[in-house]
Amino acid sequence: MKKIICFLILTLGILGCSSEENTRVEGNFEFIIPYTTQITVGGVVGIQDRTFKAGETFSGIDEGDGNVTIRIAEHSVLNDNCPSNTCYQEFLSVPRKYLKLKK
């Protein structure tokens, strides 16, 4: 019986402790070095290469997983019934090393 109680206490202790906290940071993020990727622009153009220059700022969320999700376009009625040829990309996941949080 003593072993079972010790096992339960140990198990609860391990499950209750977490070495990694969920730190979610929202704000404006500025590119510190150029970043080139493909984005969906919709319509006839479809997919296009886009280079984000150092100094460009976007609102975003850093979930703490090494990437920041930034908003590269505002939502409109064109994006309501996706997928279709009018849809465009609103969000982009960027590696954290290309961005810094603006204060």
- Report the pLDDT value the prediction gives residue 63, as an integer from 0 to 100: 85
What is residue 74's three-state secondary structure? Answer: coil
Stretches where the chain sits below pLDDT 70 are 1-22, 43-44
The continuous run of DSSP H or E covering 48 comes out as strand 46-52
Evaluate whether 73 touches 40 at the Cβ level (below 8 Å): no
CA–CA distance from 73 to each of 20, 65, 70 (Å)? 32, 23, 9
pTM: 0.70
- Report the pLDDT value the prediction gives residue 75, as an integer from 0 to 100: 86
